[in-house]
């Protein structure tokens, strides 16, 4: 007969937690989200993935990384909709969290408090270098935050900033390499100066 210690029993109980994966465009946030969710599926956990309905760049329904890896998801119009699909779920994945409303904080806390592992991926800053949507608050309440980096297309250093290369002042502009480039802090500052020149 095998007797398990109290520590083992604690570890095998379902524990809710919030994990945030943040960084600039092209830093591998969605790639890391997909990797964690696929591992959860391999572990026979019940997984549900959500993305904002406005993000149809690669697919209307799937979450797709820039490297074309994908996983089936449910597009939703608001954070409150997530709760409608998460009964009997072990792991919830949320991509492009910066596009959700601020109610996402309460949704993620409720899920985690009910024993669900919540994995969130999103841009921590917009193209102006300002905190983006609910991401700063999500980082604050997270049990774990992973900041991933792209490579600066100008100098090859680690990039934390998403520089918009087209003239458009809207905060939300869905785009790709034609509209954005990842830059390090120094190159981002130079790019901003160049953008301001007539």
Reply yes or no on whether 181 is catalytic: no
What is the rounded distance in angstroms from the CA atom of residue 191 to the CA atom of residue 198? 13
With H, G, I as helix, E, B as strand and everything else as coil, classify residue 179: coil
Distance CA 19, CA 39 (A): 15
Q: Count how many Cα atoms sit within 13 Å of the Cα of residue 32 in the half-sphere of its side chain.
A: 20
Of 96, 170, 81, whose CA–CA distance to 134 is shortest?
Answer: 96
Provide the H-helix boundaries in 44-168: 104-113, 135-141
Number of alpha helices (DSSP H) and beta strands (DSSP E) in the chain: 5, 12
Q: Which of 19, 32, 96, 181 is catalytic?
A: 96
What are the catalytic residues?
Answer: 96
């Amino acid at each position: 007969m095998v007797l398990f210690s109290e520590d083992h029993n604690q570890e095998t109980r379902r524990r809710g937690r919030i994990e945030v994966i943040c960084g600039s465009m092209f830093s591998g946030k969605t790639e890391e989200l997909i990797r964690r969710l696929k591992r959860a599926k391999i572990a026979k956990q019940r997984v549900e993935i959500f993305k904002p309905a406005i993000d149809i760049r690669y697919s209307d329904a799937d979450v797709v990384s820039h490297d074309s890896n994908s996983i089936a998801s449910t597009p939703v119009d608001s954070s409150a909709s997530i709760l409608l699909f998460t009964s009997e779920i072990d792991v919830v994945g949320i991509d492009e969290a910066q596009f959700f409303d601020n109610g996402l904080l309460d949704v993620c806390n409720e899920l985690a408090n009910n024993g669900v592992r919540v994995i969130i991926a999103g841009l921590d800053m917009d193209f102006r270098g300002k905190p983006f949507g609910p991401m700063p608050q999500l980082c604050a309440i997270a049990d774990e935050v992973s900041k991933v980096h792209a490579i600066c297309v100008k100098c090859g250093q680690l990039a934390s900033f998403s520089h918009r290369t087209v003239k458009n002042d809207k905060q939300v502009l869905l785009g790709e390499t034609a509209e954005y480039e990842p830059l390090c802090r120094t190159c981002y500052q130079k790019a901003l100066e160049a953008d301001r020149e007539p």
